[in-house]
């Protein structure tokens, strides 16, 4: 016989240990495989075949269900009434009786079929175990080792399963190499033709949140929390934090003594990625001002989902940031579309946006004011001339002649220049 059944019990234990499966689960898979193999070569496809394996002594028993008939036409699926009554006294036509089969009938073809079915069922069982184990870990941080890098895809070893990290889930500028140990965020478990596919990430916002959870124990008790996160992986991250306990500084809690906590997070995501931690506020204006930190804001005007932010001239570049990074992240953090303008730009825009009627009114008011001042000046001069002495009037006349002379000279110079 080409199939050594005595070794099946040993094989079941070895497979269970290697695949981290329960022995009963592996045993059930092998029994089903042997039954399918026997049914294929020595029975009928619709026939019920039961296989039992004794893991203690290695015994294997096969039972095939046969129909009780008067005259047997198909030996594999039928049994005579007389033979059936030997096994069961009250047997009658049409009954199904389990008949123990001789293992010698299990030939090489059946053994190969059993082997293929066993491997297939084991793969299916392994996939189900992976799904059941890792589905509970979706949305958490797990340890991984880089197994290989294939173009833009990084494959990582998660212990009992393999995961992939697409380009979109990687940190910008970060380099990976086989054997590198990383912390990753398990984003999803996808069911595929070749089994479950575990998708991991280091570039999403949840990755940063979980890193802070590991460093800030106060988050577990609810003393402090992260309200919002805006991130451009590998470049900059903004966190809005709040405290539910009076007297607890949320920013200081996340930064840690001498910056130990925030530095621990930065060492994992890379020193090139800067982290801004700001105080969350229910007041939109205050929240926007905090989100634009370290910019000094003069005024915030909110209309619907848009906000106009006025800053001093020397703070404009800081508010916008390199390539608009600061204002872009602040906009994601607050949920408002932010328009940054300097005080000078704002004044010029207000003047440009002024209605023609307002401009004419302001011009008329200025003209009236100037005329009023001019009208007052001659009266003052007249009043002064009435009270002045002959000597003072002579001085005034000399000054007047001097002024006329200077004016005529200036006119002559201008004509000459033209």
Query: Cβ distance 43 to 77 under 8 Å?
Result: yes
Kindly report the average pLDDT of the chain as a whole number: 82
Three-class secondary structure assignment of the chain: CCCCHHHHHHHHHHHHHHCCCCHHHHHHHHHHHHHHHHHHHHCCCCCCEEEEECCCCCCEEEEEEEEEECCCCCCCCEEEHHHHHHHCCCCCCCCEEEEECCHHHCCHHHHHHHHHHHHHHHHHHHHHHHHHHHHCCCCCEEEEEEEEEECCEEEEECCCCEEEECHHHCCCCCCCCCCCEEEEEEEEEEEECCEEEEEEECCCHHHHHHHHHHHCCHHHHCCEEEEEEEEECCCEEEEEEEECCCCCCHHHHHHCHHHHHHHHHHHHHCCCCEEEEEECCCCHHHHHHHHCCCCCCCEEEEECCEEEEEECHHHHHHHHCHHHHHHHHHHHHHCCEEEEEEHHHHHHHHHHCCCHHHHHHHHHHHHHHHHHHHHHHHHHHHHHHHHCCHHHHHHHHHHHHHHHHHHHHHHHHHHHHC
Q: Give the model's confidence band at 124: pLDDT under 50 very low, under 70 low, under 90 confident, else very high.
A: confident
Which of 129, 254, 251, 233 is closest to 184 using CA atoms? 233
Quick check: 58 pLDDT over 60? Answer: yes
pLDDT in tens, 353-405: 665 555 555 555 656 666 555 555 554 444 444 444 555 555 445 555 556 65
Quick: pLDDT tens for 84-107.
888 888 888 888 888 888 766 666
Pull the structure tokens for residue 86.
């030997």
Please say whether the beta carbons of 161 and 196 come within 8 A.
yes
Neighbour count for residue 304 (Cβ, 10 Å): 7
Burial of 209: CB neighbours in 10 Å, binned 0-12, 13-18, 19+: middle
Task: Enter the tokens of residue 362.
Answer: 């302001």
Instruction: Give me the phi and psi of 287, to 5 degrees please.
Output: -65, -40
At 381 the pLDDT is 43
User: How confident is the model at residue 154, as a pLDDT?
Assistant: 96
Closest Cα partner for 309 from 283, 280, 336, 329?
Answer: 336
Mean pLDDT of 115-126: 72
Tokens for 397, please give them: 């006349």
Q: pLDDT tens digit string along 154-180?
A: 999 998 788 999 999 999 999 999 999
Task: Tell me how many degrees the CA angle 308-314-316 measures, rounded to the nearest 5.
Answer: 35
The strand pair at 195-201 and 274-279 is best described as unpaired
CA–CA gap between residue 378 and residue 373 (Å, rounded): 9
Burial of 235 (0-12, 13-18, 19+ CB in 10 A): middle
Contacts 24+ apart (CB under 8 A), 383-392: none
pTM reported for the whole predicted model: 0.63
Least confident of 66-80, 226-240, 398-412: 398-412
- Give the pLDDT of residue 383: 47
Which tokens hold the place of 293? 């930190």
Q: Can you give the pLDDT at residue 339? A: 94
Give the model confidence (pLDDT) of 328-355 as tens digits: 999 999 999 999 999 887 777 766 766 5
pLDDT for res 359 = 52
Do residues 131 and 189 lie in contact, with contact meaning Cβ atoms separated by under 8 Å? yes
List, for residues 240-286, the tens digit of each pLDDT value: 999 999 999 999 999 999 999 999 999 999 888 999 999 999 999 99
Phi, psi of 230 (to 5 degrees): -125, 125
CB 228 within 8 Å of CB 333:
yes
């Amino acid at each position: 016989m080409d199939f050594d059944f005595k070794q099946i019990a040993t094989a079941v234990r070895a497979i269970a240990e290697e695949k981290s499966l329960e022995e009963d689960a592996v045993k059930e898979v092998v029994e089903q495989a042997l039954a399918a193999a026997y049914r294929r070569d020595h029975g009928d496809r619709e026939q019920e075949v039961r296989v039992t394996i004794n893991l203690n002594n290695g015994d294997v028993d096969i039972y095939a269900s046969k129909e009780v008939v008067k005259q047997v036409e198909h030996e594999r699926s039928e049994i005579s009434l007389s033979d059936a009554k030997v096994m069961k006294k009250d047997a009658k036509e049409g009954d199904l009786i389990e008949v123990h089969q001789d293992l010698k009938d299990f030939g090489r073809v059946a053994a190969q079929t059993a082997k293929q079915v066993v491997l297939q069922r084991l793969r299916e069982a392994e996939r189900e175990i992976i799904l059941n184990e890792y589905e509970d870990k979706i949305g958490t941080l797990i340890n991984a080792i880089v197994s290989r890098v294939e173009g833009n895809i990084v494959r990582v070893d998660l212990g009992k399963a393999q995961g992939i990290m697409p380009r979109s889930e990687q940190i910008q500028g970060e380099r990976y190499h086989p054997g590198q140990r990383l912390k990753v965020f398990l984003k999803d478990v996808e069911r595929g033709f070749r089994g479950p596919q575990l998708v991991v990430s280091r570039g999403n916002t949840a990755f940063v949140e979980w890193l802070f959870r590991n460093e800030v124990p106060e988050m577990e008790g609810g003393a402090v929390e992260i309200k919002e996160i805006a991130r451009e992986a590998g470049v900059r991250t903004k966190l809005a934090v709040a405290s539910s306990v009076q007297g607890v500084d949320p920013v200081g809690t996340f930064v840690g003594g001498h910056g130990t906590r925030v530095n621990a997070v930065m060492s994992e995501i890379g020193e090139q990625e800067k982290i801004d931690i700001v105080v969350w506020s229910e007041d939109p204006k205050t929240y926007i001002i905090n989100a634009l930190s370290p910019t000094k804001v003069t005024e915030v005007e909110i209309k619907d989902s848009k906000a106009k932010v006025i800053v001093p001239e020397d703070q404009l570049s800081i508010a916008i940031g390199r390539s608009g990074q600061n204002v872009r992240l602040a906009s994601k953090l607050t949920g408002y579309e932010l328009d940054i303008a300097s005080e000078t730009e704002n004044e010029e825009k207000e003047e440009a946006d002024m209605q023609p009627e307002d401009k004419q009114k302001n011009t008329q008011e200025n003209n009236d004011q100037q005329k009023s001042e001019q009208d007052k000046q001659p009266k003052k001069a007249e009043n002064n001339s009435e009270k002045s002495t002959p000597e003072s009037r002579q001085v005034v006349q000399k000054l007047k002649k001097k002024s006329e002379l200077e004016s005529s000279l200036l006119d002559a110079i201008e004509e000459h220049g033209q």
